[in-house]
């Protein structure tokens, strides 16, 4: 209720709104769709399952439903952008576009902002254990290009984001640390699993001797000079390869700026001998654009140092997704371990 009350006020939800219901009921984003609609007396429009497979059908359904708010994982927005199904003037009643669950490529955000300039665009961040979302950032201006990072922003009312070091002390602005959450959204824990609960929900001692519950997200973050929090990546997405420390999310950001790709994902698999982990890329080219690993390497070399260029590549017709609509990185790791084309 703390989140729904905050969201209802911040997004100014009222009875004139028509909200999308895109995530499956097993995914916590659906909680906001349902109870946000109920709290405002608004309409909830459930997205037909068949629209998820055909971006032009999804765009037509959004148009016919006259939505005022769209909320989904970034994959759905990116999919529609890559197939170019949104035209200037579409969705005249759409006031808000929200996303949560993973990073939205900035190139896809630019696509939407140019075609639906009258809407506000808000990035929400938060793990299920902290109830839907714990922070927000409404994009204030057009990003300069497809590689600009969008922050996860500021904590929602009643929440707090903490960026701490290994000694549970705050890190300096600009430095990367472990991201923790405390506040009204914290779950009591994992159902009938006290051991896992104790490992993730910790107690932080305050300077006055007080003790508060906090949740370790498993994400890395930094606080910028602007006071906003920026997502750096998952703890397990920061690897060491050939003696270099590499953040896989930085490689994905660069790849997502390549206009000949429809989708892409970067994962790491154990390498051989001295090299540590091997950086691997799975990608989906646009139908009318010839894409080769050699060509992608050349494009990336203009954006990244050589040691960050993936050494194994695999072209796919589509990236595997899990039940929540997010990229299934575990399946990608398995596929790239077995297959993949080495180009290093």
* H or E element in which residue 216 lies: strand 211-223
Structural tokens at position 14:
């009222």
Strands 176-183 and 211-223: antiparallel
Is residue 154 within 8 A of residue 136, CB to CB? The reply is yes
Q: What is the average per-residue pLDDT within 253-262?
A: 89
Range in 58-62, 113-117, 321-325 the model is least confident about = 321-325
Mean pLDDT is lowest, of 24-28, 69-73, 97-101, for 24-28
The pLDDT value recorded for residue 324 is 80
To 5 degrees, how large is the angle CA 287–CA 267–CA 168? 140
Start-end of H helices in 43-140: 55-65, 74-82, 106-115
pLDDT in tens, 280-315: 999 999 876 788 999 999 999 999 999 899 989 999
Give the whole-angstrom CA distance, residue 13 versus residue 3.
Answer: 13
pLDDT (tens digit per residue) in 93-144 = 999 999 999 999 999 999 999 999 999 999 999 999 999 999 999 999 999 8
Q: What is the pLDDT of residue 192?
A: 94
Mean pLDDT of the chain: 91
Joined together, the tokens standing for residue 96 give: 């808000």
d(CA 299, CA 146): 14
Q: In the prediction, which pLDDT does 106 show?
A: 94
With pLDDT > 90 as the criterion, what percentage of the chain qualifies? 72
**Residue 243 neighbours by CB under 8 Å, 6+ apart:** 276
Q: What is the pLDDT of residues 194-246, one digit of tens each?
A: 999 999 999 998 777 789 999 999 999 999 999 999 999 888 777 777 677 78
pLDDT at position 240 is: 72
Close Cβ partners of 258 (under 8 Å, ≥ 6 residues apart): 264, 296, 299, 300
Whether 251 contacts 279, CB under 8 Å? yes
Q: CA 213, 216, 222, 226 torsion: positive or negative? A: negative
């Amino acid at each position: 209720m703390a989140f729904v009350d905050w969201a209802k006020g911040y997004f100014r939800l009222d009875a004139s709104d028509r909200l999308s219901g895109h995530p499956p009921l097993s995914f916590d984003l659906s909680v906001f769709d349902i109870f946000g609609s109920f709290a405002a007396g608004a309409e909830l429009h459930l997205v037909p399952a068949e629209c998820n497979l055909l971006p032009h059908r999804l765009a037509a359904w959004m148009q016919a439903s006259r939505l005022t708010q769209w909320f989904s994982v970034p994959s759905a927005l990116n999919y529609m952008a890559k197939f170019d199904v949104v035209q200037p003037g579409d969705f005249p009643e759409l006031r808000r576009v929200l996303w949560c669950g993973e990073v939205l490529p900035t190139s896809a955000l630019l696509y939407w902002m140019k075609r639906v300039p009258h809407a506000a665009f808000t990035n929400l961040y938060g793990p299920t254990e902290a109830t839907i979302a714990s922070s927000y950032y409404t994009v204030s201006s057009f990003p300069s290009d497809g590689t600009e990072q969008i922050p996860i922003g500021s904590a929602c009312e009643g929440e707090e984001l903490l960026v701490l070091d290994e000694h549970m002390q705050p890190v300096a602005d600009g430095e990367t640390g472990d991201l923790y959450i405390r506040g009204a959204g914290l779950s009591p824990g994992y159902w009938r699993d006290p051991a896992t609960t104790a490992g993730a929900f910790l107690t932080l001692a305050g300077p006055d001797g007080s003790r508060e519950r906090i949740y370790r997200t498993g994400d890395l973050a930094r606080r910028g000079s602007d006071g906003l929090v920026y997502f750096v990546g998952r703890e397990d997405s920061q690897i060491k390869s050939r003696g270099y420390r590499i953040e896989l999310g930085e490689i994905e950001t660069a790849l997502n700026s390549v206009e000949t790709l429809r989708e892409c994902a970067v994962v790491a698999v154990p390498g051989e001998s001295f090299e540590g982990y091997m950086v691997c890329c799975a990608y989906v080219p646009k139908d009318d654009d010839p894409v080769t690993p050699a060509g992608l390497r050349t494009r990336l070399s203009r954006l990244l140092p050589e040691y960050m260029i993936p050494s194994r590549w695999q072209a796919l017709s589509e990236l595997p997704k899990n039940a929540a609509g997010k990229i299934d990185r575990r399946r990608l790791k398995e596929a790239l371990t077995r297959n993949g084309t080495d180009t290093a």
